[in-house]
Structures are given as C-alpha cells and as structure tokens.
Amino acid sequence: MIKNYIKDANFEDTGFSYTLSLISGKHKMVILYCLMEFEPVRFNELRRYLKNISDKTLSTNLKELESDGLITRKEYPQIPPKVEYSLSGKGRSLMEVLDQLCVWGENNRP
C-alpha cells in the first residue's frame, strides 16, 4: 500500500509523510501514549512520566501537538494556575494506529 503512495506522488505529499510529521521527534508518541493511558494529565505529571525531558522541550512538544489538533489544553482560571492536557478526537483516532505499533512490537520483539 505504501508503495502505491510513493509511486503516485512525491513522498512529502503522502498521508504516510503527513502522519510521520505529526508524531516525529523523541517524545511526541510517548506524550500521546501517556495521555491515552492517564488523561487528563497535568504538565508535571507528564514530566515525571517522561523523566529526562526539559520543561522547554515538553512545552514545545505540547504546543506542537496542540497546534496539530492532536491534543487539547484546558486552562483553569485559578491560583496557582492549573492546566490539563487530553487527547482530541483526532488524537484518539491516531492512537488506534499507534496501538497497532505496540501490538506489532509485542509480537515481534526478541
């Protein structure tokens, strides 16, 4: 199926390339997985789950995922500030695909 996409169009114009652009990077798939398992999740919970990630990197990844429509950010007007992140409908539909990657990995790891 991927061969047909590449044969008929430039790789950059394929759905496969678009999907990769959304989840590329070291942390995005892990963030999405964490939101799938524990949503809603606050910033510090994500940071603890991801362990070795800087605040700036986590913040950047969350902003990118939000701008791509994969997650939603809910800000509560209180002191101290409270922000929660959840998967959007688009993000949930992507998790169905990423879940299959997990199944494949479980079935094929040594």
Q: What is the pLDDT of residue 108?
A: 93
Asked, for residue 21, whether it belongs to a domain, the answer is: no
Q: What is the pLDDT of residue 8?
A: 56
Q: Which domain holds residue 91?
A: 26-108
Asked, for residue 17, whether it belongs to a domain, the answer is: no
Give per-residue pLDDT as tens, 6-61: 555 677 778 888 888 888 888 999 999 999 999 899 999 999 998 889 999 999 99
Q: How many angstroms separate the CA atoms of 70 and 47, rounded?
A: 19
Q: How many angstroms separate the CA atoms of 27 and 48, rounded?
A: 13
Asked, for residue 94, whether it belongs to a domain, the answer is: yes
Asked, for residue 85, whether it belongs to a domain, the answer is: yes
Reply yes or no on whether the pLDDT at 106 is more than 80. yes
Asked, for residue 49, whether it belongs to a domain, the answer is: yes
Q: What CATH code is carried by the domain that includes residue 46?
A: 1.10.10.10
Q: What is the pLDDT of residue 64?
A: 96
Give per-residue pLDDT as tens, 50-101: 888 999 999 999 999 999 999 999 999 998 889 999 999 999 999 988 888 8
Asked, for residue 74, whether it belongs to a domain, the answer is: yes
Asked, for residue 15, whether it belongs to a domain, the answer is: no
Total count of domains within the chain? 1
Q: What is the pLDDT of residue 20?
A: 85
Specify whether the CB–CB gap between 8 and 2 falls below 8 A: no
Asked, for residue 53, whether it belongs to a domain, the answer is: yes
